[in-house]
Structure 1
Amino acid sequence: MKSTPFDSTIPFLREGYPFISSRCDAVGKDLFSSRLGLVVPVIFIRGADAAEKFYGEDRFTREGAMPPTIQHLLQDKGSVQTLEGDAHRVRKRAFMSLMSPAAMDGLGDVFESEWQKVEKRRLGRGSVKLHDMVREILTRAACQWAGVPLPEQDVPRITQELSLMIDQVARFGPRNWYAQLRRRGTESWVAGMVEQVRSGELSPREGSTLDVFSHHRDVDGELLSPEVAAVEIINILRPILAVSRFIVFAAVALHENPKWRDTFASGNVDDVEPFVQEVRRHYPFFPAVPGRVKDQFRWRDHDFRKGAMVILDIYGTCHDPRLFQDPDSFQPERFRGWSWDDNPYSLIAQGAGRHESSHRCPGEWSTVELMKRAVVLLSRAGYTVPSQDLTVPLSRFPSLPRSGFVISR
């Protein structure tokens, strides 16, 4: 039986996604205390009750919780995830305004159009890593849908800069610093567009991401600074590109479960959404999310003192056998008839709680829409999948099949 280490830094990095749950199992509880970096006391928690406590009761703040190396790449200063109370609710409404069913249909249509064009060009050259191809497709689709002008010569640069924000998020040292430097360039590029919109030089589509955040007024009635507006626009673009990992995992699932590929290829798409939700639950995305206690409380016979660092196990909760029977098996059927409203604290791959009021990612709708479109496209395409290493290392954050999933005609 594994014991709870005094310091969890090396075990967490070595064991990866299953680390928190394995230690919870060892102590027979949904929480345990340890340290990170030898000096930071941390309480690790898992499960639906823990997710409700973390997201649903206003007991935690994100401020000061995320290491700067991660925050600067994923969210950066002034983003909605760093806000609380009325400031968070007002900013969150701007994000929610972009996620209507009509807007999601529009994003899906742009994605399909870009898929057809990029696929034809890339696969015409021979084999290609699906992950690389999908990243280009998503960059093009995200910018077009968001109203962000993207000159053709800038596509490789912006694709790489958005990708670095994800790839290097769990790195330390020069790789992370380089990714942060490149992000500064992306922010400057987008902030310049915000200034052009406000001066009348640019006229993005009404209701688009560039339009909404260029004109958004915060809780104090003031316009966002161009820099913060750029941060929030990137917080739309970057998560769309991050869907590339889910799409690759969906391709792996179709390859390893051909009955689903054949079903979707035949035109029967009734279970496309359950399939997508199972991909989100089953495969590793982000392992955990940190927060700090706002005011002292007691839970599960443990005192959570004000300011304490708490880390919620996302991967472990999505693989909790109390929530999902036989959690290590791939079973899309489990999500037939499932809804977010009925289950806000079980499938928490992108956060928990209610989208309107909590810190749950509003990008879940765009993620699901893009994945559904990709699953149908992949099922009908008739690709060849050469022999390759499709193992998914659980000690890599964020993870991906080792081969990147190579396909050819």
Structure 2
Amino acid sequence: MDHSRRPPLADSSLALLAQGYTWLPGRLRRTTAPLVRTRLMGQHAVALHGPEAVRFFYDEQHIERGTALPGPVLSTLFGHGAVHTLDGQLHRVRKGMFLSLLTGPEAVGGLVDGVCAEWDETVASWPGRRVVLFDEASRVLTRGVCRWAGIPLHDPDAVARDMVAMVDGFATAGPRHWRARRARARSEAWLAGLVDDVRAGSATAPQGSVLDGVARHRDADGRLLDPRTAAVELLNVVRPTVAVCWFLTYAGHALRRPDVRERLRGDDAAYAVAFARELRRFYPFAPFVGGRAVTDLDWHGEPIPAGTMVLLDVYGQNHDPAHFDDPYAFQPERFAGRPPARDELIPQGGGDPATGHRCPGEDITVALLAALGPRLARLEYEVPEQDLRIPLTRMPARVRSGFVLEDVRVPLPAGLAAR
């Protein structure tokens, strides 16, 4: 077939906005070809699906990310100059900074312990209050991650609102998007000033903290990050941690099932991890990730010209019956005793986190959910009438009501309850 004579493709940007998470899986289901061809924002794009496609996509000889992220996404979610925009040696050196700060038992355990302490303190104030789980979780996570990272907070609630706004507005137009831009501008200015103060000696960064590591990091050229880029990378630690509030709210949604809630209340650590993994598989977060072909490529006989936008299906793969039995049922036990293969479960992207663009904070996300999920399950509360729908046409999706709790009762510790 002469691919140069393909009829012009219709632009799918409006269809993506209208259909949300179902757009790409729907397109993939309707074709027998190994990929989908379309146009997005006026650009030729192809979409791939499946673990083999994950490995293909994250091979830096095939796909680069530096020029693929649209300006509106950089101005809201990731930040200009972020690690997500780098490739090759530049990416490896900057990514090494994140790996040193965010991976390993000491780093993960320290953050989880700090967030859990904030959670326990906050939950003690819930009895007698009407609680919106999404909002409360965002504030707990903000205080916990900033304390762990060595970042002083003067207005934790305002910082939490800005972190949420950056995530909530990156994939849309209109008021949510402009709130996200304003939130990023405020946050970058605040943290750039903090980095300047640390370097000048007028503020202290605890030794070994994230603030210390980012402020002192030297990039591949041997230079310190400029203060604004350092602020961007600090936000790329704080913002995704606060975004775990999406999944904690989904946890409340999932715990309406009495069998799941009862089992999570126990001391089965393996089940808590399986619950965390199933939350990230079942509930919507990222619809797909994108890159750009660095050279002329071939995917199962289909040409992908250099410069083509390449999309990797995320939501569809996490709900593919070829990889997950009964994929639209919430079943934590599917992961009990069986950690998912690296390129099978990809809610935060795929590939090797040590060398590719996969989020280095993925272990932190799982550990936070495995620690906080049982804490939520052990609370007694009422779920009043509210809108618990999760529209798949909204990106990022979220529980419409934020998951409201009433008549919260905090159980006494086992030792006190026995007296």
Tell me the TM-score range normalised by the shorter chain: over 0.9
Partner of 1:205: 206
1:313 corresponds in structure 2 to 313
Counterpart secondary structure, 1:176: helix
Counterpart of 1:267, as a letter, is D
Question: 2:265 maps to which residue?
Answer: 265
Match of 1:79 among 78, 82, 90: 82
Shift of 1:46: 1.5
Gaps of at least 5 residues in structure 1 are none
Report the equivalent of 2:392. Answer: 394
The alpha carbon displacement at 1:5 in A equals 7.5
Deviates more, 1:279-288 or 1:68-77: 68-77
- 1:263–1:269 CA contact under 8 A, matched in 2: no
Conserved 8 A contact 1:30-1:47: no
Matches within 5 A, 1:125-204: 125-151=128-154, 154-204=155-205
In structure 1, the residue matched to 2:413 is: none
> Shift of the alpha carbon at 1:96?
0.7
Secondary structure of the structure 1 residue equivalent to 2:377: helix
Paired amino acid for 2:253: V
Aligned to 1:378: 376
Q: Which residue of 2 aligns with 1:103?
A: 107
Structure 1 runs of 4+ aligned residues shifted over 4 Å read none
Match of 1:336 in 2: 336
Pairing 1:248-287 to 2, within 5 Å after superposition: 248-256=249-257, 258-287=258-287
Give 1:66's aligned amino acid. L
Cα deviation for residue 350 of structure 1 reads 0.3
Quote the Cα distance in structure 2 between the aligned partners of 1:85 and 1:180. 28
Q: Distance in 1 between matches of 2:313 and 2:359?
A: 16
**C-alpha separation in 2, matches of 1:182 and 1:403:** 22
Per-residue Cα deviation, 1:77-103 (whole angstroms, up to 9, x for no partner): 111111111111111111011222111
CA contact (8 A) 2:34 2:302 kept: no
| Structure 1 letter corresponding to 2:193 | G
CA contact (8 A) 1:8 1:34 kept: yes
In 2, Cα distance between equivalents of 1:279 and 1:325? 15
Task: Give the SS at the match of 2:352.
Answer: coil
Residue 366 of structure 1 aligns to which amino acid in structure 2? I
Displacement of 1:10: 2.1
Q: 2:303 is paired with a residue of what secondary structure?
A: strand
Aligned to 1:220: 221
Question: Does structure 1 residue 29 correspond to structure 2 residue 33?
Answer: yes
- Does the 8 Å contact 1:388/1:406 carry over to 2? yes
Distance in 1 (alpha carbons) for counterparts of 2:9 and 2:371:
44
Distance in 1 separating the partners of 2:48 and 2:136: 37
Residue 235 (str. 1) matches residue 236 (str. 2): yes
Contact 2:269 2:370 in 1 (8 A): no
Residue 336 of structure 1 deviates from its aligned partner by 2.3
d(CA) in 1 for partners of 2:61, 2:159: 36
Deviation at 1:338, TM superposition (A): 3.1
What fraction of aligned residue pairs are identical, expressed as a percent?
A: 40
2:288 corresponds in structure 1 to 288
- Please state how far the C-alpha of 1:293 moved relative to its aligned partner: 0.5
| Gap change, CA 1:215 and 1:389, over 3 Å in 2 | same
CA RMSD of aligned residues (A): 1.6
Residue 63, structure 1, aligned to residue 66, structure 2: yes
* TM-fit CA distance, 1:138: 0.7
- Give the distance between the partners of 2:269 and 2:188, measured in 1 at CA: 39
Asked whether the 8 Å contact 1:393–1:400 carries over to 2, the reply is yes
Q: Return the alpha-carbon distance in structure 2 between the equivalents of residues 173 and 65 of structure 1.
A: 22
**1:270 is paired with a residue of what secondary structure?**
helix
Letter in 1 for 2:266: S
CA shift, 1:182, in A, is: 2.6
Q: Deviations over 1:21-54 (max 9, x none)?
A: 11111112341111123x2211122111211111
Partner in structure 2 of residue 322 of structure 1: 322
2: distance between equivalents of 1:264 and 1:24?
Answer: 36
TM-score by length of 2: 0.92
SS at match of 1:27: coil
Cα deviation for residue 272 of structure 1 reads 0.7
The farther-off stretch of 12-21 and 242-251 is: 12-21
Alignment correspondent of 1:366: 364
What's the TM-score, normalizing by structure 1?
Answer: 0.94
The 8 Å contact of residues 69 and 172 in structure 1, kept in 2 or not, is answered as: no
Q: Residue by residue, what CA displacement relative to the aligned partner does 1:157-206 show, whole Å, maximum 9, x if unpaired?
A: 21111111011111224542342123111111111111111122222222
Contact in 2 for aligned 1:314/1:348 (Cα 8 Å): yes
Alpha-carbon distance in 2 for matches of 1:29, 1:207? 50
The 1:193/1:262 distance shift into structure 2, 3 A limit, reads same
Shift of 1:266: 3.1
CA distance in 2, matches of 1:292, 1:219: 23
Report the 3-state secondary structure (helix = DSSP H, G, I; strand = E; otherwise coil) of the residue aligned with 1:401. Answer: coil
1:347-381 deviation line (CA, Å, top 9, x unaligned): 01001011100100011011111111111111111
Distance in 2 between residues matched to 1:9 and 1:234, nearest whole Å: 28
Per the alignment, residue 112 of structure 1 pairs with: 116
Q: What SS class does the counterpart of residue 383 from structure 1 fall into? A: strand
Closer, same or farther: CA 16–174 of 1 in aligned 2, 3 Å: closer
Opposite residue 354 of structure 1, the aligned amino acid is D
1:387 to partner: Cα distance: 2.8
